[in-house]
Amino acid sequence: QGTMRINDRGHLEIGGCDTVELAERFGTPLYVLDEQYFRQNCRNYNRAFMEKYDGEVLYAAKTLLTLAICRIIAEEGLSLDVVSGGELYTAKKARFPMERVYFHGNNKSADELKLALEYKVGRIIVDNQYELLMLNKLAGEAGVHVKIMLRLTPGVEAHTHEYIKTGQIDSKFGIVIENGQAMEIIKQAMALENIQLTGLHCHIGSQIFEMESYTHAAEVMLGFTALVYQETGWQPEEMNFGGGLGIYYTSADEPQPVSKYADMLVPAVQTLAKSYGLITPRVLVEPGRSISGPAGTTLYTVGSVKEIPGIRTYVAVDGGMGDNPRPALYQSRYEALLANRADQQPEETVSIAGKCCESGDMLIWDINLPAPAPGDILAVSSTGAYNYSMSMNYNRLPRPAMVLVRDGAADIIIARETYDDLIRNDMVPERLGESKV
């Protein structure tokens, strides 16, 4: 996948870089991002949605955002979906074109909304009535007119992990269609003087493989639009179907090509719009995982190998739930190999343990590998999305560095945290004087 290959030393190579050398040079744990693969994923979306259907592709920043990533997204011509003041600030600092920024979130603060108005973001995706009224007031105070989309809950349940289902009715996100709330809020938005309602949004979940979930969402959204048009005369010029395309983590996953996703969703929208006598809205999508996920690999160094005869062999690595909380949070599964012995056949079933003080900090249960020994480099694949962005300092472990690799060059895009970073925000009150640092 991507630029991954096994070189003639039997080492895993990514972006023309020997990963064993990367581990030596930059230390472990280390996030490695394959630039060419990341860009290729952007281009696949460009081709499938923008070039073919004149749609728009918004990269979901929550999966992985840094200043360098912003530059790549800007260069590839994608737009950006941000969900917090922090992500917005990152985009601004990277000089990302603000008119291509879409601001999401189910509980944006007044300060975050003010920042978005000040930066003049392209759209604000309003999640609820409280936000709608607050935004109208803030826009009035700032003397600006703001373009918004409304996030609806279409009641579509994509088959995915319970925690990441967001399209169903009983959800903290968006405005319910069925009970009349959405209709009421659309009418309200139309009447607000500082707001321009340009479109509707929905997001039906993440790590989705059934493309029918998207066409089903299109049916619900267009069906509702027809009612709105009848009752109000308003119709959306753009419709955003969120993100969610699934990726390969293990052989249980069967990713669908981006082209199929586009070729199912967009024509469905076109046909439905036509059948209801509506103008065809521009289709927007917000992929995150399917752009950044497969482009990331995490390198770890193997430490203790503990065999409990007849039961299990625990292979401990120098990272874990701090840099990848997904297995602990969602029982997510990953594949891995020994980067320094990538040409060897698996000979043993082992389990990969993290180094946090929690029994639940297990990265991979039961994986076949060439018998791992201390000092081996373990490469876990598909860690580009929701790994660094969800990382934490539990047990005061510093976050790893990230390197961007391409054509044999490796550049740090996130510096490794230091112990000083860990105590940077600690304060010692005067009355504890003796412990002054």
Among 85, 122, 288, 322, binds ligand LLP (CB under 6 A): 288
How many Å is the maximal CA-CA distance in the chain? Answer: 76
Cis omega (within 30 of 0) for bond into 309: no
When asked if residue 386 is in the footprint of ligand LLP (CB under 6 A), the reply is yes
Q: For residues 421 and 38, is the Cβ–Cβ distance under 8 A?
A: no
Among 19, 290, 340, 382, binds ligand LLP (CB under 6 A): 290
Name residues contacting ligand LLP, limited to 210-249 (CB under 6 A).
242-245
When asked if residue 150 is in the footprint of ligand LLP (CB under 6 A), the reply is no
Residue nearest to ligand LLP (CB): 243
Q: Over the Cα atoms of the chain, what is R_g?
A: 23
Helix (H) or strand (E) holding 300: strand 296-308
C-beta of 164 vs 264, nearer to ligand LLP: 164
When asked if residue 410 is in the footprint of ligand LLP (CB under 6 A), the reply is no
Min dist CB 140 to ligand LLP, Å, is 27
160 phi, psi to nearest 5 deg? -160, -175
Selected range binding ligand LLP among 46-54, 225-233, 285-293, 426-434, rule: CB under 6 A: 285-293
Name residues contacting ligand LLP, limited to 192-211 (CB under 6 A).
203, 206
When asked if residue 383 is in the footprint of ligand LLP (CB under 6 A), the reply is no
How far is residue 133's CA from residue 193's CA, in Å, rounded to a whole number?
11
Min dist CB 63 to ligand LLP, Å, is 5
C-beta of 244 vs 296, nearer to ligand LLP: 244
Could you write out the DSSP letters of every residue in 152-205? EE-----SS-GGG--SSSSSSSSEESTTSHHHHHHHHHHH-TTEEEEEEE----
Dig out the tokens for 311 from the structure: 């039961």
C-alpha 59: how far from chain center: 8
C-beta of 243 vs 372, nearer to ligand LLP: 243
When asked if residue 326 is in the footprint of ligand LLP (CB under 6 A), the reply is yes
Q: For residues 297 and 342, is the Cβ–Cβ distance under 8 A?
A: no
How far is residue 116's CA from residue 230's CA, in Å, rounded to a whole number?
33
When asked if residue 55 is in the footprint of ligand LLP (CB under 6 A), the reply is no
When asked if residue 108 is in the footprint of ligand LLP (CB under 6 A), the reply is no
Min dist CB 41 to ligand LLP, Å, is 11
When asked if residue 165 is in the footprint of ligand LLP (CB under 6 A), the reply is no
Q: How many CB atoms lie within 10 A of CB 237?
A: 12
Among 32, 60, 353, 404, binds ligand LLP (CB under 6 A): 60
Min dist CB 364 to ligand LLP, Å, is 16
When asked if residue 63 is in the footprint of ligand LLP (CB under 6 A), the reply is yes
Q: Give 59's strand partners.
A: 80
- In three-state form (DSSP H/G/I as H, E/B as E, the rest C), the secondary structure along 76-109 is CCCEEEECCHHHHHHHHHCCCCHHHEEECCCCCC
Catalytically active residues, by annotation: 357
Selected range binding ligand LLP among 28-36, 210-218, 250-258, 287-295, rule: CB under 6 A: 287-295
Selected range binding ligand LLP among 1-9, 283-291, 314-322, 351-359, rule: CB under 6 A: 283-291
Helix (H) or strand (E) holding 218: helix 212-232
Helix (H) or strand (E) holding 12: strand 12-14
Selected range binding ligand LLP among 26-34, 71-79, 112-120, 286-294, rule: CB under 6 A: 286-294
Contact residues for ligand LLP, defined by CB under 6 A:
60, 63, 81, 104, 164, 166, 203, 206, 242-245, 286-290, 326, 330, 385-386
